[in-house]
Protein backbone atom coordinates (compact mmCIF):
# COMPACT_ATOMS: atom_id res chain seq x y z
CA UNK A 1 0.00 0.00 0.00
CA UNK A 2 2.75 2.44 0.99
CA UNK A 3 4.85 1.43 -2.03
CA UNK A 4 1.95 2.12 -4.39
CA UNK A 5 1.45 5.56 -2.80
CA UNK A 6 5.16 6.35 -3.10
CA UNK A 7 5.14 5.20 -6.74
CA UNK A 8 2.13 7.44 -7.45
CA UNK A 9 3.91 10.43 -5.90
CA UNK A 10 7.02 9.69 -7.97
CA UNK A 11 4.97 9.38 -11.17
CA UNK A 12 3.19 12.67 -10.44
CA UNK A 13 6.50 14.43 -9.73
CA UNK A 14 8.05 13.03 -12.89
CA UNK A 15 5.04 14.18 -14.95
CA UNK A 16 5.39 17.70 -13.56
CA UNK A 17 9.18 18.09 -13.87
CA UNK A 18 11.10 16.71 -16.87
CA UNK A 19 14.48 17.26 -15.16
CA UNK A 20 13.49 15.07 -12.20
CA UNK A 21 12.26 12.41 -14.61
CA UNK A 22 15.52 12.46 -16.54
CA UNK A 23 17.64 12.33 -13.35
CA UNK A 24 15.55 9.44 -12.03
CA UNK A 25 15.94 7.50 -15.28
CA UNK A 26 19.70 8.08 -15.32
CA UNK A 27 20.08 7.04 -11.68
CA UNK A 28 17.92 3.97 -12.26
CA UNK A 29 19.92 3.02 -15.36
CA UNK A 30 23.22 3.41 -13.46
CA UNK A 31 21.97 1.38 -10.49
CA UNK A 32 20.67 -1.35 -12.78
CA UNK A 33 23.95 -1.48 -14.75
CA UNK A 34 25.96 -1.66 -11.50
CA UNK A 35 23.77 -4.49 -10.21
CA UNK A 36 24.11 -6.40 -13.47
CA UNK A 37 27.89 -5.88 -13.49
CA UNK A 38 28.19 -7.18 -9.91
CA UNK A 39 26.04 -10.21 -10.79
CA UNK A 40 28.20 -10.94 -13.84
CA UNK A 41 31.34 -10.70 -11.73
CA UNK A 42 29.88 -13.07 -9.13
CA UNK A 43 28.89 -15.55 -11.84
CA UNK A 44 32.39 -15.40 -13.32
CA UNK A 45 33.94 -15.90 -9.89
CA UNK A 46 31.59 -18.78 -9.17
CA UNK A 47 32.46 -20.41 -12.49
CA UNK A 48 36.16 -19.96 -11.83
CA UNK A 49 36.15 -21.71 -8.45
CA UNK A 50 33.15 -24.04 -8.80
CA UNK A 51 35.40 -27.03 -9.50
CA UNK A 52 36.45 -27.06 -5.83
CA UNK A 53 32.95 -28.26 -4.98
CA UNK A 54 33.03 -31.05 -7.58
CA UNK A 55 34.21 -34.25 -5.81
CA UNK A 56 35.16 -35.91 -9.11
CA UNK A 57 37.51 -33.10 -10.13
CA UNK A 58 39.02 -32.82 -6.65
CA UNK A 59 39.49 -36.59 -6.23
CA UNK A 60 43.25 -36.50 -6.88
CA UNK A 61 44.06 -33.59 -4.56
CA UNK A 62 45.13 -33.81 -0.96
CA UNK A 63 42.58 -32.36 1.45
CA UNK A 64 43.79 -29.10 2.98
CA UNK A 65 42.06 -26.17 4.59
CA UNK A 66 42.83 -24.06 1.51
CA UNK A 67 40.81 -26.22 -0.87
CA UNK A 68 38.07 -27.52 1.40
CA UNK A 69 35.13 -25.06 1.32
CA UNK A 70 33.68 -26.51 4.54
CA UNK A 71 36.94 -25.80 6.39
CA UNK A 72 37.32 -22.20 5.25
CA UNK A 73 35.40 -20.81 8.23
CA UNK A 74 38.05 -22.29 10.54
CA UNK A 75 40.72 -19.88 9.38
CA UNK A 76 40.43 -16.14 9.99
CA UNK A 77 43.77 -15.36 8.38
CA UNK A 78 43.02 -16.37 4.80
CA UNK A 79 43.90 -13.61 2.38
CA UNK A 80 40.91 -13.00 0.14
CA UNK A 81 42.75 -10.69 -2.23
CA UNK A 82 43.67 -11.69 -5.76
CA UNK A 83 46.20 -10.66 -8.38
CA UNK A 84 43.58 -8.25 -9.71
CA UNK A 85 43.15 -6.42 -6.41
CA UNK A 86 44.30 -2.83 -6.34
CA UNK A 87 47.54 -2.50 -4.33
CA UNK A 88 46.16 0.29 -2.13
CA UNK A 89 43.01 -1.72 -1.38
CA UNK A 90 45.13 -4.77 -0.57
CA UNK A 91 47.28 -2.69 1.80
CA UNK A 92 44.18 -1.27 3.50
CA UNK A 93 42.73 -4.78 3.83
CA UNK A 94 45.94 -6.07 5.41
CA UNK A 95 46.02 -3.12 7.82
CA UNK A 96 42.39 -3.82 8.71
CA UNK A 97 43.11 -7.50 9.36
CA UNK A 98 46.16 -6.58 11.45
CA UNK A 99 44.09 -4.10 13.50
CA UNK A 100 41.47 -6.81 14.04
CA UNK A 101 44.15 -9.24 15.19
CA UNK A 102 45.69 -6.69 17.57
CA UNK A 103 42.25 -5.85 18.98
CA UNK A 104 41.53 -9.55 19.59
CA UNK A 105 44.88 -10.00 21.34
CA UNK A 106 44.35 -6.87 23.44
CA UNK A 107 40.89 -8.11 24.42
CA UNK A 108 42.31 -11.48 25.49
CA UNK A 109 44.97 -9.72 27.57
CA UNK A 110 42.37 -7.40 29.11
CA UNK A 111 40.07 -10.30 30.00
CA UNK A 112 42.97 -12.21 31.57
CA UNK A 113 43.88 -9.13 33.65
CA UNK A 114 40.27 -8.68 34.78
CA UNK A 115 40.00 -12.38 35.69
CA UNK A 116 43.22 -12.08 37.70
CA UNK A 117 41.94 -9.01 39.54
CA UNK A 118 38.65 -10.76 40.34
CA UNK A 119 40.58 -13.72 41.72
CA UNK A 120 42.75 -11.45 43.87
CA UNK A 121 39.69 -9.58 45.13
CA UNK A 122 37.87 -12.77 46.07
CA UNK A 123 40.96 -14.06 47.89
CA UNK A 124 41.36 -10.79 49.83
CA UNK A 125 37.75 -10.49 50.96
CA UNK A 126 37.21 -11.51 54.60
CA UNK A 127 34.75 -14.25 55.26
CA UNK A 128 32.02 -12.89 57.48
CA UNK A 129 29.99 -15.06 59.74
CA UNK A 130 26.36 -14.37 60.35
CA UNK A 131 25.71 -13.02 63.84
CA UNK A 132 22.53 -14.20 65.47
CA UNK A 133 20.77 -11.92 67.89
CA UNK A 134 18.54 -12.88 70.70
CA UNK A 135 15.35 -11.11 71.68
CA UNK A 136 17.18 -8.59 73.84
CA UNK A 137 19.39 -7.34 71.01
One DSSP character per residue, 49-101 reads: HGGGG-TTTTTTSPP-TTT-GGGGGG-S------TTS-HHHHHHHHHHHHHHH
Residue 87 has pLDDT above 90, yes or no: no
Distance from C-alpha of 3 to C-alpha of 59, rounded to nearest angstrom: 52
Tell me the average pLDDT of the chain.
77
What pLDDT shows up at residue 79? 57
Go through 54-71 and write b for each residue having 16 or more CB atoms within 10 A of its CB, e for each that does not.
eeeeeeeeeeeeeeeeee
Residue 55 has pLDDT above 80, yes or no: no
Residue 109 has pLDDT above 90, yes or no: yes
Furthest C-alpha separation in the chain: 94
What pLDDT shows up at residue 106? 92
Predicted TM-score of the model (pTM): 0.33
Residue 114 has pLDDT above 60, yes or no: yes
Residue 77 has pLDDT above 70, yes or no: no
Distance from C-alpha of 131 to C-alpha of 134, rounded to nearest angstrom: 10
Amino acid sequence: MAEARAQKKLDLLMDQDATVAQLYQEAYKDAKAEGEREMDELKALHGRFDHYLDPARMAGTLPTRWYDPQALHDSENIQYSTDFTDLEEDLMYKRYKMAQYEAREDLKEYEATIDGLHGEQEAAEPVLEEVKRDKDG
